[in-house]
Amino acid sequence: MNARIALLLALALPLAARAEITGKVIRIGVLNDQSGLYADIAGQGSVVAAKMAVEDFGKIPDATVEVVFGDHQNKPDVGSNLARQWYDVDGVDMIIDVPTSSVALAISQLTKEKNKVFIGSGPGTSDLTGKSCSPNTVHWTYDTYALAHTTGLAEVQSGGKTWFFLTADYAFGAALERDTSAVVKAAGGEVLGSVKHPLNTTDFSSFLLQAQASKAQVIGLANAGGDTINAIKAAAEFGIVKGGQKLAGLLVFISDIHALGLQTAQGLLLSESFYWDKDQKTRAWSKRFADKSGGKMPTMVQAGVYAGVLHYLKAVKALKSDADGKAVVEEMKKLPTDDPLFGKGTIRADGRKIHPMYLYEVKKPSESKGPWDYYKLIKEVPGDQAFRPLDQDNCSLVSKK
Amino acid sequence: MILAVPVQALFGQLLIGLINGSFYALLSLGLAIIFGLLNVVNFAHGALYMLGAFVAWFLLEKAGIGYWPALLLAPLAVGLLGAAIERTLLRRLTGLDPLYGLLLTYGLALILQGVFLNFFGSSGLPYEMPTQLQGGQALPFMFLPNYRMWVIGVSLIICLGTWAVTEGTRLGSRLRAATENAPLVSAFGINVPRMITVTYALGVGLAALAGVLAAPIYRVGPLMGADLIIVVFAVVVIGGMGSILGSIITGFVLGILEGLTKVFYPEASNTVIFVVMAIVLLVRPAGLFGKQA
């Protein structure tokens, strides 16, 4: 019996003690939607961004950095299985991106179990740094709370007091509706109703008729990607906006605007934490990105992957080890963030990356100088106002203090 | 009021269901014709529908050819491609288990989708609606876009026309005869292989037509067919494999059923058709309009 325990300890010892780069390779797994309705938001673009970050970071002593990628098909079970294989068999040390909140919540849980690192760039749900927060997770680019407090707040402040939501029927849609409803109610507004539609819906006309019948001033689109595009197109066709109701796209990406065309999308308010044409640095980086991506400009999710990988490598280099995921994330929180795309920022105790959010309005076709010239800046919301205050988090990592 | 939904709103929802049903009917009609004569479960149907929309987009972007000519040109181009597919690929599988045809067309669909996804991304491309069909009618219970009325009209005419041809003309009777017993029909001196090629081309041409009709209202994107084709297969199964009238009626009825689900229990709107399919398969395995074996 004792011999057995000794043997187990002997086997376990190297696992616990190895403060080094495991296998001399830092393996980064980009996990996202490669073929479905979110593939333009994240997809191959995120892989390109991760590889650019590895290239730009330069050498790490005694280690090489590899990037692998996989398609989670927006299904939590598919994503978990792939991540499990990556962690257990393929030696992946960190998973990044993971749009689709339902998948991201599963990956965050699994990453904690395996003591690896998860950096969410694609997912929206603010629960990742709230009630489901984890010492192994960093949430980088945006979240539903921030969207509600930029786009949502702006719509309420410009007079939209009564709301009706079209909500994607999964974790992200529910979180976005919840966080936006809170903003609406806090400002004295009223939510008249909502309808939950299945993810990846082609025809929104039926749901829009219900929204129209509610007579709400604002129709809030708590969905993303292809769903948002379809909803906005159908709203234009069915004369919703001409009838005096306003559409609020609560999460709209530049790839969506590109697919809609300015004719349909003009005047839409949206919030992003990154826009390629923001300043000299973002333009320079985006041009490089576009050259590698068939001319497509990056979305904020792809930018977040770049910045997240850079900061992760910074932490691993400082620790000289990628073995203990929790320790790496602690180091990431300790080091200030600084990259050409999001500027200077911090990562809070709950794993929330803090940077400004920007409220943009989509240009009229006459104002645009050409493809991808789509946004006018309305205002900058500082990070401490855009993101949820720590004391409202309900995150166990914070209340322990 | 019915279950807290105003009757007027219900009219609007029924109409919208009818519009979606138009697409189901057009697509399932082509599938039914192809299955009837070739005994092929054409899994490439959704991809060819997508191709129809893309041909229309290319015509507009690269050659400045608008919606109206595209309505004819796109089905023609895709029909020709269909003929080529039948001649070079499907023909080799005659007499084999239908599973081979299914696998072949499924592979074709994946290749087509993959290629388009690679070049155009998943978000899709905008396609301008023809000016003649913009705007709409303010009905007492809803605002009905002109374009959607046009879709219902075209779909009804095409569906009923196809049905009339197969039931009432000489060509139709030969087609039906060849479905029953191809060797006997060819013994009468009728060129059955050519008829098969034409039928396949016609079936996929219908898919391409539906694609052009869909282009201005949905996104022209690589996945537009994949999103639809599974539902359309359910429609064909419910209607009865190979039954032309069955596929038309089921297409419209299921469109309406789906529309109503979107009002009463929206979360189930993408599953209701499959629930119906399961029930129909249990009660009438050959489908509602199929011949019982």
CA distance B108 to chain A (A): 17
Is some CB atom of chain B closer than 8 A to the CB atom of A313? no
Say how many C-beta atoms besides its own lie within 10 A of residue A120's C-beta: 32
Average pLDDT of span A260-288: 94
Is some CB atom of chain A closer than 8 A to the CB atom of B228? yes
Rg of chain A in Å (alpha carbons): 21
Q: What is the CATH number of domain B7-283?
A: 1.10.3470
Average pLDDT of span A56-81: 94
Is some CB atom of chain A closer than 8 A to the CB atom of B15? no
Is some CB atom of chain B closer than 8 A to the CB atom of A140? no
**B280: enclosing H helix or E strand:** helix B272-283
Query: What is the pLDDT, as a whole number, of residue A13?
Result: 45
pLDDT in tens, A166-185: 999 999 999 999 999 999 99
Average pLDDT of span A124-146: 96
Q: Which residues of A touch B143 (CB under 8 A)?
A: 238-239, 243
Q: Which residues of A touch B224 (CB under 8 A)?
A: 202
Mutate to test the interface with B, among A38, A195, A203, A257 (most CBs of B within 10 A): A203
CA distance B252 to chain A (A): 15
Q: Which of B167, B176, B207 is nearest to B25 (CA)?
A: B207
Q: Which of B199, B193, B218 is nearest to B53 (CA)?
A: B218
Is some CB atom of chain A closer than 8 A to the CB atom of B266? yes
pLDDT at residue A15 is higher than 50:
no
Q: Which of A94, A156, A102, A152 is nearest to A124 (CA)?
A: A102
Query: What is the pLDDT, as a whole number, of residue A37?
Result: 86
Is some CB atom of chain B closer than 8 A to the CB atom of A193? no
CA distance A204 to chain B (A): 10
Is some CB atom of chain A closer than 8 A to the CB atom of B121? yes
Q: Which two tokens stand for residue A386?
A: 């855009």
Q: A229 vs B17: CB contact, 8 Å cut-off?
A: no
Say how many C-beta atoms besides its own lie within 10 A of residue B190's C-beta: 15
What residue of B is the nearest CA neighbor of A240? B143
Beta-sheet pairing, A64-71 with A94-97: unpaired
Amino acid found at A104: A
pLDDT at residue A77 is higher than 80:
yes
**Which of A198, A209, A260 lies closest to B16 in CB terms?**
A209
Is some CB atom of chain A closer than 8 A to the CB atom of B124? yes
Beta-sheet pairing, B143-145 with B136-138: antiparallel
Q: Which residues of B touch A234 (CB under 8 A)?
A: 217
* Pair B237, B283: CB distance under 8 Å: no
CA distance A150 to chain B (A): 24
* Domain over A146-277+357-386 is classified CATH 1.10.1450.10: no
Query: What is the pLDDT, as a whole number, of residue B214?
Result: 94
**Which of B13, B17, B267 lies closest to A198 in CB terms?**
B267
CATH class (in words) of the domain with range A23-142+279-355: alpha beta
**Per-residue pLDDT tens digits of chain B, which is 293 residues long:** 455 566 767 888 888 899 989 999 999 999 988 988 888 889 999 999 999 999 999 999 999 999 999 999 999 999 999 999 999 999 999 888 889 999 999 999 999 999 999 888 888 888 988 999 988 888 877 888 999 999 999 999 999 999 898 888 988 888 888 877 888 888 888 888 898 999 999 999 999 999 999 999 988 999 899 878 889 999 999 998 878 888 999 999 999 999 889 888 888 888 999 999 999 999 998 888 877 55
CA distances from B203 to A154, A291, A334, B169, B197 (A): 51, 41, 64, 18, 10
**Strands of A107-159, DSSP E:** 117-120, 137-139
Is some CB atom of chain A closer than 8 A to the CB atom of B142? yes
Eight-class DSSP state of A152: I
What residue of B is the nearest CA neighbor of A231? B218
pLDDT at residue A399 is higher than 80:
no
Q: Estimate the share of chain B in helix, then strand, then coil, as percent rounded to the nearest 5.
A: 75, 5, 20
Q: B126 vs A230: CB contact, 8 Å cut-off?
A: no
CA distance A60 to chain B (A): 33
Chain-centre distance of CA B283, in angstroms? 25
Q: B263 vs A210: CB contact, 8 Å cut-off?
A: yes
pLDDT in tens, B38-81: 888 899 999 999 999 999 999 999 999 999 999 999 999 999 99
Segments making up each domain of chain A, as ranges: 23-142+279-355, 146-277+357-386
Q: B16 vs A206: CB contact, 8 Å cut-off?
A: yes
Q: List, in sequence order, every residue forming a beta bridge with A338; answer none if it has no partner.
A: A344
Query: What is the pLDDT, as a whole number, of residue A1?
Result: 47
Is some CB atom of chain B closer than 8 A to the CB atom of A311? no
How many helices (DSSP H) and strands (DSSP E) are in chain A? Answer: 16, 15
Average pLDDT of span A197-225: 92
Is some CB atom of chain B closer than 8 A to the CB atom of A45? no
Segments making up each domain of chain B, as ranges: 7-283
Q: Which two tokens stand for residue B149?
A: 């009325």
What residue of B is the nearest CA neighbor of A265? B126
Mapped onto helix, strand or coil, the DSSP state of residue A69 is: strand
**Which of B12, B20, B217 lies closest to A209 in CB terms?**
B12
Distance CA B96, CA A361 (A): 59
pLDDT in tens, A49-66: 999 999 999 999 889 999
- Secondary structure in 3-state letters for A356-374: CEEEEEECCCCCCCCCCCC
Q: A39 vs B19: CB contact, 8 Å cut-off?
A: no
Q: Which residues of A touch B9 (CB under 8 A)?
A: 209-210, 213
Q: B20 vs A261: CB contact, 8 Å cut-off?
A: no
Amino acid found at B82: G
**Which of A198, A226, A238 lies closest to B122 in CB terms?**
A226
pLDDT in tens, A334-363: 999 999 999 999 999 999 999 999 999 999
Domains A23-142+279-355 and A146-277+357-386 share a fold: yes
What residue of A is the nearest CA neighbor of B143? A238
Q: Count Cβ atoms within 10 A of the Cβ of residue A12 and give its class: 0-12 exposed, 13-18 middle, 19 or more buried.
A: exposed
Q: Give Dmax (Cα) for chain A.
A: 81
Lowest mean pLDDT among A73-82, A295-304, B37-46, B179-188: B179-188
Q: Give me the total of CB pairs closer than 8 Å, taking one residue from chain A and one from chain B.
A: 107
Mean pLDDT, chain A, rounded, equals 92
pLDDT in tens, B121-161: 888 888 988 999 988 888 877 888 999 999 999 999 999 99
Q: What is the value of pTM for the model shown?
A: 0.87
Query: What is the pLDDT, as a whole number, of residue B180?
Result: 77
Q: Which of A139, A93, A99 is nearest to A114 (CA)?
A: A93
Mapped onto helix, strand or coil, the DSSP state of residue B137 is: strand
Predicted ipTM of the assembly: 0.85
Q: What are phi and psi of A70, to 5 degrees?
A: -150, 165
Mutate to test the interface with A, among B123, B220, B262 (most CBs of A within 10 A): B123
Query: What is the pLDDT, as a whole number, of residue B14?
Result: 87
Q: A36 vs B223: CB contact, 8 Å cut-off?
A: yes
The sign of the dihedral angle between the CA atoms of A26, A27, A29, A30 is: positive
If one compares A20 and B216, the residue with the highest pLDDT of the two is: B216
Is some CB atom of chain A closer than 8 A to the CB atom of B115? no
Q: Which two tokens stand for residue A231?
A: 């909803």
**B190: enclosing H helix or E strand:** none
